[in-house]
Amino acid sequence: MKRALPILAVLVVLLAAIAFVNPFFLEPAGFLAFAKRAAPLVILAAGQYFVIVSGEFDLSVGSLVTAEVVIAARLIDGEEPATWPVIALLIVIGLLVGLVNGVVTTKLRVPSFIVTLGMLLVLSGAVFLWSGGAPRGALSEGFRAFGRGGLGPVPWSVLILLAVGAAAIWLMRADFGKTLMVAGDNERAAALSGVRVHRVKIFAFMLSGLAAAVTAILLGGFAGVSAQVGQGLEFSAITAVVLGGVVLGGGRGSVLAAMAGAFTLEALFTLLNLYGISGALEFTVQGVIIIVAVAAGAVRLPWKFTPRKGDAHAAS
Amino acid sequence: MLSMRGIGKSFLGVRVLSGIDLDVTAGEVHAVVGENGAGKSTLMKIICGVHAPDEGTIEIDGRPTSFGHPLDAQRSGIAIIYQEFNLLPERTVAENVFLGREPVRRGLVDRTAMEQATERLLDELGEGSFGPREAVKRLSVAQQQVVEIVKALSVNARLVVMDEPSAALAEHEVELLYRLIGRLRERGVAVLYISHRLREVFDLADRVTVLKDGSRVTTHPIGEVTSDELIRLMVGRDLGTYFPPRSSGVGETRLSLRGAGNHKLRGIDLELRSGEIVGVAGLQGSGRSELAKAIFGAEPFTEGEMTPSRPRSVREGVALGIGLVTEDRKAEGLALHQSVRDNALLVARAVGGKDRDGVHDLLERVRLSPPRQDQEVGYLSGGNQQKVVLARWMTMAPRVLLFDEPTRGVDVGAKAAIHDLMRELANDGMAIMMISSELPELIGMSDRIVVLRDGRIAGTLPAGPSEEAIMRLAAAEVVS
Amino acid sequence: MNGIPVAARLREPTQVVFLALLGLIALGWVLVALDGGQFLTMESVVGIQQRSAALGIVAVGQTLAILAGSLDLSVAYLISLTSLVAAEIMAGQDGNIVPAVAAVLALSALVGLVNGLVITRLRVHAFIATLGVALIIRGILDHLYDGPAGKVPESFQVLGYSRIGPVPVSALLWAGVAVVAWFLLSRTRLGYRIYAVGGNEEVARLSGIRTGRIVVLTHVLCSVCAGVAGLLLASRLGAGAPTVGTDGGYDLESIAAVVLGGTALAGGKGGVAGTVGGVLLLAVLDTIFNQLEVNSFVKDVVRGVVIVIAVAVYARRTKGRSA
Amino acid sequence: MPRRKATVAVFAALALAGCTTDKPPAAQSSAPAASTDQTGQGSGTGTQSKFFVQADFDAQLAMRSQTPQGPDGKPWEQAITPQMTDTKTFKKDGPYHLCFSNAAVNNPWRQVGWKTMQAEVGLHKEITEFTALDAEGKDDKQISDIAELQAKGCDALIVSPNTTATLTPAVKGACGKVPVIVFDRGVETDCPVTFIKPIGGYLYGADAADFLVEKVPDGGKVLALRISPGVDVLETRWSAAKTVFDKSRLQVVGVEFTDGDAAKTKSIVNDYIQRYGKIDGVWMDSGGTAVAAVEAFEDAGLPVPPVTGEDQQDFLQKWKDAKLTAIAPTYPTYQWRTPIIAALKILKGEEVPKVWNLPQPKITEETLPTYLQPNMPPLHYALCGCEDLPGFPENWGGKKS
């Protein structure tokens, strides 16, 4: 929680700025709409967080999301009864892709950047090969409900987001999360304490795959079938995680902060939109903000006393 | 050429060196000996510009000097050869030798000149086993050391500092080292030679300086001391330091080895018993750490017997109830960015141990001060860090606990606390093995001391042996 | 042990990649022959070179960045930008070629400088730093350009279209860039230091190398290579195009080619020769697919698998040696 | 890739070239190209695109009312005001080897078209060989592909250029060797024997805008959704719409880029609904995200205002199901049949139009039932003209019904 404070502060400022222009944002409905929109990226960022904190990358999530949506559309083909089996299948596929990423990374010792880049190519090729170049079939109303519908005024995606967020936070507090952190921080120390480093990392990749599957369900539900639904999501997710103060290289940062990073990114988009920054220059602003935020090491609280690192470590 | 006066240095308020005087003359091989923790490494780092001294003066050729950066020292003609080499494995010998100062002709690196110069230096050192174009990754450790020495020579170093140069070398490779040092001396280069191995000191050095507890004890021409005297000077400190009383009784055998070995160890016979602290002594490179890692399962034995069973992995070791407090806390022990609690609970979490609430009590029991669980471990002192590692293993209530240099880099107070704890654990019935290069510690703590040499057990000594006795076994060459 | 031949300087993965290249050519020959075609015709040989020239030039630059332990994700957008700048300044006039080339080189050097400084001074991970710069350039592109713009004079199109016998000028340009980079890496201090910084930054620093400066310089060179690729593409296309860089996927594909050529992603190990092999490998693969009219989705799958397998093979070889 | 439905008439393209020379000789990189439409706070339509050419606009709108010549019910063989050109010099005996350099198959529109073209090839026994290379959306690769195809002994070369200006040199190079047929997007040379295209982007944009002007009450708030800036062919659609809107009494409250991303589209529409309370019409430069825009209104619990879409099945289905007030201008995929037909005509020495303007119908409420095919996949384009081709509907991903 403490580590998530700075990014939460930034988020609150952005949200306030949005509310200033658009008072509707303060109403429950307005805020829920924002949360609903942000949910897919936040979930994807949570998944990416596990991989990054273990010291790896997952570049394959974007094409995995696309693949999942295309698969869902073709298999469901508008048939309501197919909804649940296909959702189960999507989740299995997500886990499986993560498993392959993880196994190749750990057992074959290929850098995860390359493994997941390869997976990106394989997935985007394979799924369109299978579907004949463009999505076919259709999603069922039941499937769409996850992205569109809600329980009373609360969108399903927000509820799913809450569940995923709670699960992610719980996981990071559980043994798995703690050992994952240590594996990302000091792989050797973890191994010498009996941590099955490979297994833990593979599991992290599987979580990322799972998050991509859930994201696909939400995005497919929200916006329908599209061949480019996952385009660029891998970079957005990594950016969000880093924006949350999670360090590339592993071992530092909290999952709450990573999710807050995703919210922040989404709030930033909304804000740029609201303030009428031209659609074109939006990217420029985004690029500058990302660099500045990371450069400022957004994580460290300025008022929190911490001895300079070098001092403490030099003596040990 | 080098003259140091009144050098002192503290880290975080702990005094590491005080009032050191040291003179090195050209063409001299000057040995520096002392126990671990005597301050040798810090002194070397000051000479080489890694640390700046808090007090005292350094003069080179009579001119006062201060080094802000290792490069300053290098420019003054001082080169250091660390135990871990500073070489790029992917590059060639010549490229490594001239790294950062490649000769240039018409704007291009003059590879011919570079290789010829390297070749020449290799020839001068009588080294014909590899050429300047060889990739460093293909060289043996001894050959890499040669590269480091050539590198030192190529900067026209007039003083070469060698930190335990023989530690990583096999017997026949040490011969090569001797020859190299001989050549250096012929060229008028001064060598500051840090070693534990007294035979080397007597074989090589012109003078020897003994450090103890951060101060200089004495400097003698080598002809004026015997090895026994030297050992006494090094270790001959007042054993008034407090150690907890020895074990009340030794219980059942917890672990036994019969003819166990692997790539580094041969024919190890050893029993660890409940309630007993077994000390393991040996020079660096004698296989001490390897023994601990083999028992633990991290670098498993490949031959011989171990009862109850021979672990093939860390997890099997842990399942047998074996724990290992590693030598290098930063590289192998701690996740520095994680909290005290997360580090302490690591083993419990890794193997699915259940008792998590006990960690608070454990941290109090190891006397972590203050016992804050949410502190990042990287900000703790060495002693507190070690206590965290210890607490980590205590969460699983091990049957056998192996300590590799448990008090290295730990201040005096924490040291005593760790010693007390070790004895406490033994009295609770744990079998404990302790590796240490600090002889007083080993003697003060152990119920039995096993001395390793070249991967074998050179001998076993009962409780309370003299330091000389250990040293004789560890460095048998001296007396044999 | 003694007397290592100069050939040993060809690091092992380089040999692997060129062997794989030969194998692939043989395989392609057989496959295309079975399909009833001819594989190494004049046109396909020219095609291979034309197809690989732009990617090759970018990949050479990327090699430098990766060797120094960094990487550059901004090249694709930079290529688009430089193609536009070149074509707009040339505006169809022969006399404007020199200023256009100068402007492109200056602009790309500036982008490289920014990349390098953000990484070294602001201590932002190269991945994020160059991704951020990529976004910045993307915004500028979107803001300034509606589509292809500018016009490249006929004389400049020589670069993209002419050839000497079976060798297109663009391939010569690529070869030139590669040779310069190879020369830089093997014969200049900068090259030696790039390897040192990528191999072990601490060792490099202790040897008196200003590591930050080296990283900045490699990024400048990497971006300049991207700028040269932008010039080449402008001459091929006759105009600048705001999507030419991203459509070509030059960012991730150049990294893939470098890694395929045996350069370690962590830096300090590898070289330009391997990258050339890697790019050619991808181009030959493309040509085989083209000849067999395999659809692009299969290509993606095969490419992905090839890259991962190649790196797994390198990793295995490294392991085998150290054990 | 959003650059999907390309259309630039040859003269438009030539004018474009003229346009670039008109530019000040940019001395530095920041030489501003005409800036794209700025999205101010409901500040209207912004500045006109530099791609806008009034004459082309007028010409395209004029074609709207002209009757195409050619066989009924086969719009892909019809042409509007054709200027025939002689092809006797290309006459040769069969069988024929046709070659095709395709810009890409990376979006549903091109997928549908590509399948249609392959099926068309299958109809003609005299085509014994058909070699197609996919440039994967890369200009550079397409240039190499065109060069490579010339060496394959093709009797005719069909090119669907990835971009207009940039493929011109390659096409010029090919013209001397084989008869070249260009379709979809044009090139800046008249060397191809024929250039096949539907009427064009101005008509597309104007059809949609006219509809909104008619259906939305005066002063109504219109949101314009575009795919992305920097795509020449989409600029024509918008610039035509802008021309129409500027003359109308509608208030364009925003011009936004969606990147062709349905989720982003939905979010943007949602933002506008929140900001303005009510949006009275939505104009779109292509149909890929039309359903998402409609859903945004539905999800907000609001009636869907008049919208414009395209002939994609999911939109047509939505239109019917939700009883929308809508129009679907088209950029028909049946144009992928025409190049094959043209190639055979040319090789047989029959004359073909120099610029082959295909009819470009719009789907209206009346014609909707004709085009709606519930058995087809959601991203299928209704105007594929493929219903009579062998393998329909399975090869297009549809189900026999």
Let me know whether B270 and B225 are in one domain: no
pLDDT value for B19: 86
Q: Looking at the domain assignment, is residue D388 inside a domain?
A: no
Q: What is the CATH number of the domain that holds D286?
A: 3.40.50.2300
Q: Taking CA atoms, what residue in C is nearest to A59?
A: C252
Interface subset of C 109-138, CB within 8 angstroms of A: 118, 122-125, 127-129, 131-138
For the stretch C151-204, pLDDT in tens is 889 899 888 888 888 899 999 999 999 999 999 998 899 999 999 999 998 888
SS3 content of chain C, % helix, strand, coil (to 5): 75, 0, 20
pLDDT value for D352: 94
Integer Cα distance of B248 and D377 in angstroms: 84
Q: Which of D90, D66, D91, D62 is nearest to D78 (CA)?
A: D66
User: A192 to chain B: which residues are within 8 Å by CB?
Assistant: 298, 314, 324, 326, 332-333
Q: Which of D179, D188, D124, D184 is nearest to D352 (CA)?
A: D179
Architecture of domain C50-317: Orthogonal Bundle (1.10)
| Cβ pair B88:C203 closer than 8 A | yes
State the smallest CA–CA distance between residue C89 and chain A in angstroms. 23
Least confident of A265-269, B35-39, B338-342, C229-233: B35-39
Q: How confident is the model at residue D401 (pLDDT cuts 50, 70, 90)?
A: low
Domain range holding B229?
2-235
State the smallest CA–CA distance between residue C236 and chain D in angstroms. 7
Let me know whether B228 and B267 are in one domain: no
Helix axis angle for C272-292 and C42-67, nearest 10°, is 140
Strands B431-435 and B277-282: parallel
pLDDT of D340 over the 90 cut: yes
Interface test with A, best of B342, B346, B377 (most A CBs within 10 A): B346
Let me know whether D192 and D206 are in one domain: no
Residue A163 neighbours by CB distance under 10 Å: 12
Answer for the pair D164, D9: CB distance below 8 angstroms, yes or no: no
Per-position DSSP letters for B422-474, written without gaps between them: HHHHHHTT-EEEEE-S-HHHHHHH-SEEEEEETTEEEEEEESS--HHHHHHHH
Let me know whether D164 and D97 are in one domain: yes
Touch between chain D and chain C (3+ CB pairs, < 8 Å)? yes
Q: Looking at the domain assignment, is residue D164 inside a domain?
A: yes
Residue C70 has phi, psi (to 5 degrees) of -120, -165
Interface subset of A 244-303, CB within 8 angstroms of B: 251-252
Integer Cα distance of C88 and C148 in angstroms: 10
Let me know whether B194 and B58 are in one domain: yes
Q: Is the minimum CB–CB distance between D291 and chain A shorter than 8 Å? A: yes
Q: Which chains contact A through at least 3 pairs of Cβ atoms less than 8 Å apart?
A: B, C, D
Q: How confident is the model at residue B378 (pLDDT cuts 50, 70, 90)?
A: confident
Let me know whether D340 and D281 are in one domain: no
Domains and CATH numbers, chain A: 2-25+32-298 (1.10.3470)
Q: Which residues pair with B135 in a beta bridge?
A: B92
For the stretch A96-138, pLDDT in tens is 999 999 999 999 989 999 999 999 999 999 998 888 777 888 8
Least confident of B167-176, B330-339, D59-68: B167-176
| Cβ pair B133:C8 closer than 8 A | yes
pLDDT of D186 over the 80 cut: yes
Q: Looking at the domain assignment, is residue B71 inside a domain?
A: yes
Q: How confident is the model at residue D9 (pLDDT cuts 50, 70, 90)?
A: very low
Strands B268-273 and B253-261: antiparallel
pLDDT of D333 over the 90 cut: yes
Interface subset of D 111-150, CB within 8 angstroms of A: 111-112, 114
For the stretch B63-101, pLDDT in tens is 888 887 777 888 888 888 876 678 898 899 999 999 888
pLDDT value for D251: 92
Q: Which of B387, B460, B467, B371 is nearest to B422 (CA)?
A: B387
- Residue-range domain boundaries for chain C: 50-317
User: B349 to chain A: which residues are within 8 Å by CB?
Assistant: 175, 178-179, 195
Top-confidence residue, B60 or C72: C72
Integer Cα distance of B42 and B51 in angstroms: 8
Q: What is the CATH number of the domain that holds B416?
A: 3.40.50.300
CB-hemisphere CA count at 13 Å for D136?
Answer: 21
Let me know whether D78 and D152 are in one domain: yes
| Cβ pair D378:A37 closer than 8 A | no
Q: Is the minimum CB–CB distance between D231 and chain C shorter than 8 Å? A: yes
| Cβ pair D378:A274 closer than 8 A | no
User: C118 to chain A: which residues are within 8 Å by CB?
Assistant: 291, 295
Q: Looking at the domain assignment, is residue D302 inside a domain?
A: yes
pLDDT of D184 over the 60 cut: yes
| Cβ pair B331:A188 closer than 8 A | yes
State the smallest CA–CA distance between residue C205 and chain B in angstroms. 9
State the smallest CA–CA distance between residue B262 and chain C in angstroms. 14
Mean pLDDT of B380-404: 89
Integer Cα distance of C240 and A76 in angstroms: 44
pLDDT value for B158: 87
Domains contained in chain D, number:
2
Minimal Cβ distance to A109: which of C259, C307, C315: C315
Per-position DSSP letters for B5-40, written without gaps between them: EEEEEEETTEEEEEEEEEEE-TT-EEEEE--TTSSH
Let me know whether B215 and B86 are in one domain: yes
Mean pLDDT score across all residues of chain B = 84
Top-confidence residue, B470 or A169: A169
User: A280 to chain D: which residues are within 8 Å by CB?
Assistant: 36, 229-230, 257
Let me know whether D185 and D243 are in one domain: no
Mean pLDDT score across all residues of chain C = 88
For the stretch D127-169, pLDDT in tens is 999 999 998 888 888 988 898 888 888 999 999 998 887 888 8
For the stretch B217-233, pLDDT in tens is 888 888 888 877 777 77
Interface test with D, best of C89, C246, C290, C301 (most D CBs within 10 A): C290
Q: Taking CA atoms, what residue in C is nearest to A248?
A: C125
State the smallest CA–CA distance between residue B26 and chain C in angstroms. 24
Q: Is the minimum CB–CB distance between A312 and chain C shorter than 8 Å? A: no
pLDDT value for B166: 74
Q: Looking at the domain assignment, is residue D142 inside a domain?
A: yes
Q: How confident is the model at residue B13 (pLDDT cuts 50, 70, 90)?
A: low
pLDDT of A280 over the 70 cut: no
Let me know whether B410 and B351 are in one domain: no
Q: Is the minimum CB–CB distance between A268 and chain C shorter than 8 Å? A: no
Let me know whether D290 and D347 are in one domain: no
Touch between chain C and chain A (3+ CB pairs, < 8 Å)? yes
Answer for the pair B52, B68: CB distance below 8 angstroms, yes or no: yes
Q: Which of B246, B239, B250, B225 is nearest to B439 (CA)?
A: B239
Touch between chain B and chain D (3+ CB pairs, < 8 Å)? no
Give the number of C-D residue pairs with CB atoms closer than 8 Å.
154
Q: Percent of chain C having pLDDT more than 70?
A: 94
Integer Cα distance of B378 and A316 in angstroms: 9
Top-confidence residue, B284 or C18: C18
For the stretch C108-137, pLDDT in tens is 999 999 999 999 988 888 999 999 999 999
What is the DSSP secondary structure assignment for residue B375, as one 8-state letter? Answer: S
Calculate the alpha carbon distances from A222 to A33, A143, A157, D270 in Å. Answer: 12, 10, 9, 12
Let me know whether D323 and D339 are in one domain: no
Mean pLDDT of C224-228: 97
pLDDT of B182 over the 60 cut: yes
State the smallest CA–CA distance between residue D86 and chain A in angstroms. 38
For the stretch C64-104, pLDDT in tens is 999 999 999 999 999 999 999 999 999 989 999 999 999 99
Q: How confident is the model at residue B368 (pLDDT cuts 50, 70, 90)?
A: confident
Domains contained in chain B, number:
3
Q: Which amino acid makes up residue B48?
A: C
pLDDT of A164 over the 70 cut: yes
pLDDT value for A188: 92
pLDDT value for C9: 43
State the smallest CA–CA distance between residue A200 and chain D in angstroms. 33
Q: Is the minimum CB–CB distance between D272 and chain A shorter than 8 Å? A: no
pLDDT of B126 over the 80 cut: no
Let me know whether D128 and D216 are in one domain: no
For the stretch D17-54, pLDDT in tens is 333 322 233 333 333 333 333 333 334 677 777 778 88
Domain range holding D173?
74-199+332-358
Top-confidence residue, A99 or A247: A99
Let me know whether B194 and B273 are in one domain: no
pLDDT value for A181: 93
For the stretch D249-261, pLDDT in tens is 899 998 888 888 8
Mean pLDDT of B182-186: 86
Integer Cα distance of D107 and D94 in angstroms: 34
Let me know whether B389 and B425 are in one domain: no
Q: Taking CA atoms, what residue in A is nearest to C127?
A: A248
Minimal Cβ distance to C148: which of D105, D141, D164: D164
Q: Looking at the domain assignment, is residue D363 inside a domain?
A: no
Give the number of A-D residue pairs with CB atoms closer than 8 Å.
97
Calculate the alpha carbon distances from B466 to B101, B228, B437, B452, D258 in Å. Answer: 50, 12, 14, 16, 83
For the stretch A5-39, pLDDT in tens is 778 888 898 899 888 888 888 888 888 888 998 99
User: C150 to chain D: which residues are within 8 Å by CB?
Assistant: 20, 26
Q: Is the minimum CB–CB distance between D107 and chain A shorter than 8 Å? A: yes
Q: Which chains contact B through at least 3 pairs of Cβ atoms less than 8 Å apart?
A: A, C
Q: Taking CA atoms, what residue in A is nearest to B50?
A: A314
Least confident of A190-194, D43-47, D303-307: D43-47
Integer Cα distance of B77 and B62 in angstroms: 14
For the stretch C236-273, pLDDT in tens is 888 888 888 988 889 999 999 999 999 999 899 999 99
Let me know whether B383 and B404 are in one domain: no
pLDDT value for A162: 96
Q: Looking at the domain assignment, is residue D63 inside a domain?
A: no
Integer Cα distance of A149 and A134 in angstroms: 26
pTM of structure: 0.87
| Cβ pair D21:C92 closer than 8 A | yes
Integer Cα distance of D222 and D44 in angstroms: 9
| Cβ pair B332:A189 closer than 8 A | yes
Strands D156-160 and D180-183: parallel
Mean pLDDT of D2-20: 36
This model of the complex carries an ipTM of 0.85
Q: Percent of chain C having pLDDT more than 90?
A: 54
| H or E segment to which residue D15 belongs | helix D10-22
Answer for the pair B327, B405: CB distance below 8 angstroms, yes or no: yes
Q: Percent of chain B having pLDDT more than 70?
A: 93
pLDDT of A42 over the 80 cut: yes
| Cβ pair D166:C47 closer than 8 A | no
- Sign, CA dihedral A117-A123-A129-A131, equals negative
Give the number of A-B residue pairs with CB atoms closer than 8 Å.
96
Answer for the pair A164, A107: CB distance below 8 angstroms, yes or no: no
Sequence-distant (6+) residues with CB within 8 A of B388 are B334, B340, B343, B344, B363, B366, B368, B377, B380
Of chain A, the end-to-end C-alpha distance in Å amounts to: 28
User: B337 to chain A: which residues are within 8 Å by CB?
Assistant: 185, 251-252
Sequence-distant (6+) residues with CB within 8 A of B346 are A178, A179, A182, A189, A190, A193, A195, B335, B392
Q: Is the minimum CB–CB distance between C320 and chain B shorter than 8 Å? A: no
Residue B137 neighbours by CB distance under 10 Å: 16
pLDDT value for B397: 86
Q: Is the minimum CB–CB distance between A112 and chain C shorter than 8 Å? A: no
pLDDT of A268 over the 80 cut: yes
* Tokens linked to A212: 């991509």
Torsion of CA C259, C321, B136, C309, to 10 degrees: 0
Q: Is the minimum CB–CB distance between D128 and chain C shorter than 8 Å? A: no
pLDDT value for D17: 36
For the stretch D208-248, pLDDT in tens is 999 999 999 999 999 999 987 766 678 889 999 999 999 99
| Cβ pair B382:A316 closer than 8 A | yes
Let me know whether D132 and D220 are in one domain: no
User: What's the CA angle centered on C273, arms C271 and C276, to 5 degrees?
Assistant: 115
Q: Which of A210, A228, A211 is nearest to A69 (CA)?
A: A228
Mean pLDDT score across all residues of chain D = 84
Q: Which of C27, C67, C44 is nearest to C273 (CA)?
A: C67
Which of B191, B208, B235 is where one domain is finished? B235
pLDDT value for D160: 94
SS3 content of chain A, % helix, strand, coil (to 5): 75, 0, 25
